[in-house]
Structure 1
Amino acid sequence: MALFDTTLRDGEQTPGVSFTTGQKVEIARHLAEIGVTAIEAGFPASSAEEREAVKAVVDAGTGATICGLARMRKEDVDACLDCGVEMVHLFIPTSEVQREHTVRMRMDEVLAATAEVVGYARAHVDQVLFSPMDATRTDWDDLVRVCQAAVRAGATAVNIPDTVGVMTPSAMKELITRIVKEVKAPIDVHCHNDFGLAVANTLAAVEAGASQVQVTVNGMGERAGNADLAQTVMALEAVYGIKTGVETARLVETSRLVSRYAGLPVPPAQPVVGENAFAHESGIHAHGILEHPETFEPGVMTPEMVGHRRRIKFGKHAGRHAVAQMLADVRLTPNDTQLDQILEQVKAISGRGRRVTDADLYAIAGEVIGMGDVTPSVQVSDISVLTGNHTLPTASIRMVVDGTEKVACSTGNGPVDAAMRAILGCLPEPVHLKEFSIEAITGGTDAIGHVTIAVEDPAGHIFDASASSDDIVTASVEAMVNAVNLVRRTGKEG
């Protein structure tokens, strides 16, 4: 199954998103590395900056087929050709509502323009993809006529876009089945997610004979977005047994790369790549997972297959088995009475609406078991942060690490980022900051901020910790140090 990724074109049409040329090139390289064979780099005729970006993606030599989008105009085709793309994607509105209110063209005019411009493009480039825009709301006879006209003119593939996301899987399957019979060219589909059906409609099209599917990373795109790359790939690979050629173990990495460049966080509950995709809190679920992962996971899709990690989380639904296992991992062995006390405190904290971190669990367990205070291996002696309108945020920190004083200075995108970088600069082993969140737990300008941090050790294990203060930097530093101490203690004891 061929994948056509349009993150750099339709994905960038997400409100508020704008990739730099460098980011576009890096994303394209990454997509090609993981196995995406066709990448729509942008819409060259839209601006000089867009032409430069598309040309840069072409010049990067990713190995994937690079496509440029064009309206049904020769000058748009020329803009694509000037960038050196290997494929031109031509589109024209075909539904009555779009023809009348966007391009003001009769259907016979659409047919004539399609034949002329598709033929022009095909004379200059080997691959031409044709899209009858708003195909799923286009009269059936008109849809067939325009698709057939495009193929006669030289289109090498036909895309059927569900432009406003109105299809259902059963309707999409029926439509593509009919299109495959009437149009003698490979069929591609482009599904929007207005009703949350983009992936389902894409899969229905595959069942009906579509040979290529259009996707975006994290489902980005106009309005509610497009079919999500990770979800589509894993459904095809794990549920349908259809090979996509994608290196699935890098799907989470891909999601995070694009999320960072787009400035759009991935929702925790996002299928496949979200932080909660393989996280379990309920006692019954956690117990089952620890005994046999397939009890409450699909089985055909494991966290390792997509580059994820399984996590047991703690809250008011936590069970004794999961808590006991987590403590056993760091060689804490409470008796039954102590375990009940630990579990009671965990649930009490969660019941007050607060997230229970790994550091919270170990601290509670230490108190209940009566271990006494354990001197942390990392302690902050002093930290100062300089910031301002004309000053690059800079943090200087003095720490004691395993009894030895360490000093580091770092700049960052803000005072908190600078402080985090300074802390990491004092550590002898690599620790990767995975999550950072802050919330105000009191009101007013002097509000108390509660910071929660998750870090990953070199082995891929994730640990989280939190802290609160009326100073955001102080809370962030304390939470980070708590998490780092947890990583180092677990590594020594585990």
Structure 2
Amino acid sequence: MVLFENVRFLDTTLRDGEQTPGVALTCEEKLWIARKLDEMGVHIIEAGSAITSEGERNAIRGITAEGLDSEICSYCRIMKQDVDYALECDVDSIHLVAPVSDLHINVKLKKDRQAVREMSTSVIEYAKDHGLIVEFSGEDASRADFDFLKSLYQDGIDAGADRLCYCDTVGMLVPEKTEAIFSELSSECSVPVSIHCHDDFGLSVSNTIAALKAGAGEAHMTINGIGERAGNTSLEEVVMILEWLYDHRTGIKSEEIYKTSRLVSRLTGIPVAINKSLVGGNAFTHEAGIHVHGLLADTSTYEPLKPEVLGRERKIVLGKHAGKSSVTLALKELGLEVDDSQLNEILTRVKEIGDHGKHVTDSDLQTIADTVLNIYRESRVKLKDFTIVSGNQVMPTASVRITVDGEEVVEADIGDGPVDAVVKGIRKAVSGIGDVQLEEYHVDAITGGTDALVEVRVKLSKDGKMVSSRGARTDIITASVEAVINAINQLMN
């Protein structure tokens, strides 16, 4: 038996996915998603349920009018009225859903099995007479009497159904049972059988793969696995499992997966979990030094596939777990080259921020690197240390110890605050080689989302020459000292 022969994908993001609490897509938003699904190569797009409202019908009409390659489908109950509304929208097919568990038949529909049988065959025949492709679906099939389900499916085939669907409506299947069910259904039914899973127990992807292995011809899924309660089967996971773990070519353009995931997340307002496989924010993000060291040698050491396959990029996050390899790779991405001593200093500062429970963004690293590179340039003035005394009842006082052209100088001064005091102390210490004036002082948080690092920017002048410099540290006073010392060295060179 050939695994996954002629497998097709039905995406129900626009129907089951939109049933996620709080989600309501406009006509234009539905069209944007439908275009992207079509571009990806999805075989069938369940565009909505035409019976829902006039707005829903307008959205479905807009999608069918687009002339997409994908088959466009509308969800229908086993009622002719639903089919009529679907016909108004000019869809290619209907997903005709009949309750098949006694719980759903008796409690929800308030009918009996025979009524469901008669309603189903009547509506299938009606839809076929009007030229529609019919996928006949058993709702809550995993809690239904299997013999009744099979006999209902056969009635559906006899009435003209083109495809059948087994719905695990509340996620009750396990892979072993799924495989047994679909082995039997695929061998006994003369039309393709689909699998539609929900993720209440976290098994929707596993059950979908098990069904496809056992002969299912189609899988129903949503982008990012969105849907009611715990959601539906995640399309991106099933596609990439088939492609990479079973070496089956699905026909889906995987490089469009991440863009589609982002689009759906943005339009629905449902964030993707940061640790979600393949499309989550951390899926191709690395911090630990040992991992990044391996990546530098061969990316496959800690990545099962290249991020470019999904239209993504690799990210290196710097924090307290960062090592030299992490920093080297991140600096390389920024186009910066450093020597060993500069690298050690940058790493020390990165870990200092990491110890505050923060991560270093690209802009953080750029500022840190620029600051360190300025420090390591040929400098006439070098800081040895400084001390600040400040409090409610104490005038802020700073003492500084620096070297000027190799000679140690110690000075102290007072100021309106600790920063003012230390800057005055530095200016006094270098007065022997020039009168330095502080023209501007500005402190700001680094853009990029971290509040652990501050950037101090200063403008200093001497004899009509003005320079700008900056310092970046977790401590505002240290950052100010660095900025001033860097600027002085620029003025003196």
Interval of TM-score (by shorter of Structure 1 and Structure 2): 0.7 to 0.9
Within the candidate set 2, 5, 10, 2:11 is matched to: 5
Within the candidate set 248, 263, 266, 1:260 is matched to: 266
Secondary structure in 2 matching 1:203: helix
Partner of 2:62: 56
- 2:124 maps to amino acid: V
Partner of 1:133: 139
Distance in 1 between residues matched to 2:334 and 2:59, nearest whole Å: 50
When the two chains are superposed, the root-mean-square deviation of aligned CA atoms in Å is 2.3
Cα 1:100–1:288 change in 2 (3 A) is same
Partner of 1:340: 344
> Over residues 102-128 of structure 1, what are the superposed CA-to-partner deviations in whole Å (9 max), with x where a residue is unaligned?
001211221121111111111112410
- 1:364 maps to amino acid: I
Check the 8 A contact 2:317/2:359 in 1, yes or no. Answer: no
Distance in 1 between residues matched to 2:117 and 2:218, nearest whole Å: 24
Give the alignment of 1:59-458 within 5 angstroms.
59-298=65-304, 301-330=305-334, 332-371=336-375, 453=448
Secondary structure in 2 matching 1:91: strand
Offset of 1:468 from its aligned partner?
Answer: 7.6
Cα 1:466–1:121 change in 2 (3 A) is farther
User: Structure 2 length as normaliser, TM-score?
Assistant: 0.74
Distance in 1 between residues matched to 2:57 and 2:197, nearest whole Å: 26
Cα 1:468–1:136 change in 2 (3 A) is farther
Give the structure with higher Rg (CA): 2
- 2:328 maps to amino acid: A
Flag structure 2 segments of 5+ consecutive residues without an equivalent: 1-6, 378-443, 456-493
Offset of 1:69 from its aligned partner?
Answer: 0.8
Cα 1:206–1:465 change in 2 (3 A) is farther
Cα 1:145–1:254 change in 2 (3 A) is same
Flag structure 1 segments of 5+ consecutive residues without an equivalent: 374-448, 455-463, 470-494
Offset of 1:314 from its aligned partner?
Answer: 0.7
Check the 8 A contact 1:167/1:201 in 2, yes or no. Answer: yes
Distance in 1 between residues matched to 2:87 and 2:214, nearest whole Å: 33
Distance in 2 between residues matched to 1:330 and 1:9, nearest whole Å: 43
> Over residues 5-26 of structure 1, what are the superposed CA-to-partner deviations in whole Å (9 max), with x where a residue is unaligned?
1111111101111111111112
Partner of 2:418: none
Offset of 1:324 from its aligned partner?
Answer: 2.3
Within the candidate set 26, 29, 32, 1:23 is matched to: 29
* Paired positions, count: 383
User: Structure 1 length as normaliser, TM-score?
Assistant: 0.73
Check the 8 A contact 2:364/2:453 in 1, yes or no. Answer: no
> Over residues 184-239 of structure 1, what are the superposed CA-to-partner deviations in whole Å (9 max), with x where a residue is unaligned?
21011111111121111111111000111111111111111111121111111111
Offset of 1:329 from its aligned partner?
Answer: 4.8
- 2:325 maps to amino acid: H
Distance in 2 between residues matched to 1:16 and 1:313, nearest whole Å: 33
- 2:49 maps to amino acid: F
Check the 8 A contact 1:89/1:130 in 2, yes or no. Answer: yes
> Over residues 318-354 of structure 1, what are the superposed CA-to-partner deviations in whole Å (9 max), with x where a residue is unaligned?
1112212333455644444443332232122112111
Partner of 1:420: none
Cα 1:305–1:123 change in 2 (3 A) is same
Cα 1:280–1:196 change in 2 (3 A) is same
> Over residues 69-108 of structure 1, what are the superposed CA-to-partner deviations in whole Å (9 max), with x where a residue is unaligned?
1100111111111111110111111112111210012112
Check the 8 A contact 1:366/1:372 in 2, yes or no. Answer: no
Cα 1:310–1:47 change in 2 (3 A) is same
Cα 1:123–1:302 change in 2 (3 A) is same
Offset of 1:369 from its aligned partner?
Answer: 4.1
Distance in 2 between residues matched to 1:106 and 1:330, nearest whole Å: 68
Offset of 1:364 from its aligned partner?
Answer: 2.7
> Over residues 379-432 of structure 1, what are the superposed CA-to-partner deviations in whole Å (9 max), with x where a residue is unaligned?
xxxxxxxxxxxxxxxxxxxxxxxxxxxxxxxxxxxxxxxxxxxxxxxxxxxxxx
Check the 8 A contact 1:280/1:311 in 2, yes or no. Answer: yes
Check the 8 A contact 1:188/1:211 in 2, yes or no. Answer: yes
